[in-house]
Chains A and B, each alone.
Chain A
């Protein structure tokens, strides 16, 4: 199997600011890749360069085996972050127009448009003007417009922004479906949770540079902070006493629960049994690192100030609220 996207030493500057610096990336065919990073990290610029909407100042790229996406446009589906519809155009003709622009003309075009509308349960809006639709409906139409020509490569820039949870789930299912069909999917998001739910490979970008490029599985293994989360049955129990248990490095209160740090070489499974025997626990689990943790761990050295840390953490959550996010 070949590679759908190959970027080497890609660099793009806008005046003084460097949006993307020396970026290397390989996305194999059939991959489901997430590009993550806070707002302004360079995700959209990278995507626009992949699509030849912008041209890099330096570096080479290959898309679907071609030297430029322009040569493979009809095989690429793109859902930009800034997306809209022709207000006055009717939904059916808009989708047909987009399909034609993608070279997916043909006698069955109308049927395909109708089929897609039925799949997202919007069959009745085919003759309506785009401006009459609700925002969620418009998002669905935009998604259809990016996949109606059954692309080999699907690039989604912040596909979940502005969607309510129900529609987020719908879009996620549609993305999975495209992936199952065999399409390579690359999507960007600044909300780490979305990436965790969707991707099998993560690329992290921070300040225009790639800081991480790993599979989800390896990220979990590599960045395992080796800690357990425990909650005692009795709130007044002496949890701190667990600190004296062999193999425990630290005990720290984290909200209603406690975080127990493991010393190197300790087997979590054995320790769980020991801890449960020491103090009656209502909950005990291995703490899995979130992408947020991974990201912050990577960039922490570069941004020592703690308020910067907090700002980044907020930027990686959809609404900026400081609630704990777990996978």
Chain B
């Protein structure tokens, strides 16, 4: 046993204490951190400063006034603020509370409104005669825009309201609409504003023409968006849709990344030992089984390190969003158990492959089936998360080695399976581990000393029978 630990320790240090590992392991969190810092800034960036006019050819004469009111900078800014609020509503409660209740939060909000106002586009509506030549009106759109100092100027768009847009033509069920011609590279947010303004103005004109009360119509057609509440045996709670998707995804990715990374390292070091011809020297001191188990344990420590680093990051993020309560500690324990099981299965296969080939290149063909095995849970993701307790989901969660991934998906879903199923999945997974280790040990023993033609999977199975 002591020898196994010596092997494991060497394996761990040889993997972790390399520049490649440290760089690789730090770069991912670093990229995520950069994304977290930079992305909101990029997203908060308003549309480019725009000053210009929208030419309107309006035979109905009903649209122009409403449109220019709609496109007033103050109105645009106000609408943007409203949108922001909606986004805030979708963000976790804890965040919103912080932003809204603290004095700094509310003043920050006001500041951002001012900022939005300052940046709001200045769009003038120029009404052309209803008989104006469309081609002539469109001509300035194609001209090289007078963009000085990053500010767009000049004619941005030409809108032509149809004659029957406000009052239906005789004998027609449908109202007319409008045509819009815009300058190339017009910011899509500006275009949306113009479209929104035209729609709003036309709707307002139609309501007026029909003799209805707009406020009433809006009130009648409006139903509040509500948040569903999940009812479970333990009681009811607000459904957090984002979290429901994120949690299984996060756990799956954690499991896969750690299993794959450490499995890959195991493959590499095994191939290296073989191609370095150091393996027989080792075999004089330890049995193949001791060597294999030692290597698997060493790489498991590497996987744990990755798991702890990344899971730790995730938990830190949850703590910072005050959402730790959403995380079930039981799930974390199962994550670790499933990690151990799926890691041992994959690692055993990797060790078998590594021992059978002479160099990494030859490992690729043998790796494909293992990789497919690992990819299966990804393919099953949607059907399983959508219906975590279907017969299909239940059956697949008892098939090693994917069963552990499936069970983890099901357990993180809103309707987790009964505990006995989770435990059964663990047992089946453990049986799978024993089988994989048995197979790997046989192949490992023979493969390590075999040089020459890389074997096929069929040869590996023959070796397993032979040893």
Residue ranges of A at the interface with B (Cβ–Cβ < 8 Å): 48, 51-54, 70, 73-74, 76-89, 97-98, 100-103, 142, 145-146
Contacts and interface: CB of A to CB of B under 8 A. Distances in A.
B105 to A, nearest CB: 54
Contacts, number: 72
Contact of B284 (A54, A76, A86, A100): A76
B14 A100 contact: no
B14 A88 contact: yes
B276 A53 contact: no
Given A82-B277, A83-B277, A86-B276, A101 B282 contact: yes
Given A78-B280, A87-B272, 14 more contacts: A51-B284, A53-B284, A53-B288, A73-B284, A78-B284, A79-B281, A80-B281, A83-B280, A83-B281, A84-B277, A86-B14, A101-B6, A101-B7, A103-B3
Given A48-B449, A80-B284, A101 B3 contact: yes
27 contacts: A51-B283, A51-B284, A52-B287, A53-B280, A53-B288, A54-B449, A73-B284, A73-B287, A74-B285, A77-B284, A78-B280, A78-B281, A80-B284, A81-B280, A82-B449, A83-B278, A83-B280, A85-B278, A86-B273, A87-B272, A88-B18, A97-B6, A100-B6, A101-B285, A102-B285, A103-B2, A145-B281
A167 to B, nearest CB: 18
A319 B280 CA distance: 25
Interface of B: 2-3, 6-7, 10, 14, 18, 272-273, 276-288, 449, 451
A207 B1 CA distance: 39
* Residue in B2, B276, B280, B284 whose Cβ sees the most chain A Cβ within 10 Å: B284
Contacts of A81: 280
A79 B6 CA distance: 20
B14 A85 contact: no
A85 B280 contact: no
Contact of B281 (A52, A89, A98, A103): A98
Contacts of A82: 277, 280, 449, 451
Nearest to A97: B10
Contacts of B281: 78-80, 83-84, 98, 142, 145-146
A130 to B, nearest CB: 9
Given A88-B14, A89-B14, A101-B7, A146 B284 contact: yes
Nearest to B448: A53
Contacts of A76: 284
Nearest to B283: A53
B276 A84 contact: yes
Contacts of A97: 6, 10
Contacts of A74: 285
* Residue in A53, A70, A101, A103 whose Cβ sees the most chain B Cβ within 10 Å: A101
A19 B220 CA distance: 93
Given A48-B449, A100-B6, A101-B7, A73 B277 contact: no
A144 to B, nearest CB: 11
B278 A84 contact: yes
A101 B449 contact: no
Nearest to A87: B276
B286 A101 contact: yes
Contacts of B279: 84
B270 to A, nearest CB: 13
A147 to B, nearest CB: 12
Nearest to A52: B287
Contacts of B283: 51, 53, 80
Those 5 A-B pairs whose CB atoms lie nearest each other, nearest first: A84-B277, A78-B284, A101-B285, A80-B280, A84-B276
B285 A98 contact: yes
A84 B273 CA distance: 8
B266 to A, nearest CB: 15
A248 to B, nearest CB: 53
Contacts of A53: 280, 283-284, 288, 449
A83 B282 CA distance: 10
Contact of A86 (B2, B278, B449, B451): B278
Contacts of B272: 86-87
Contacts of A51: 283-284
Nearest to B275: A84
Contacts of A101: 3, 6-7, 282, 285-286
A73 B2 CA distance: 14
A85 B449 CA distance: 16
Nearest to B287: A70
A213 to B, nearest CB: 25
Contacts of B2: 103
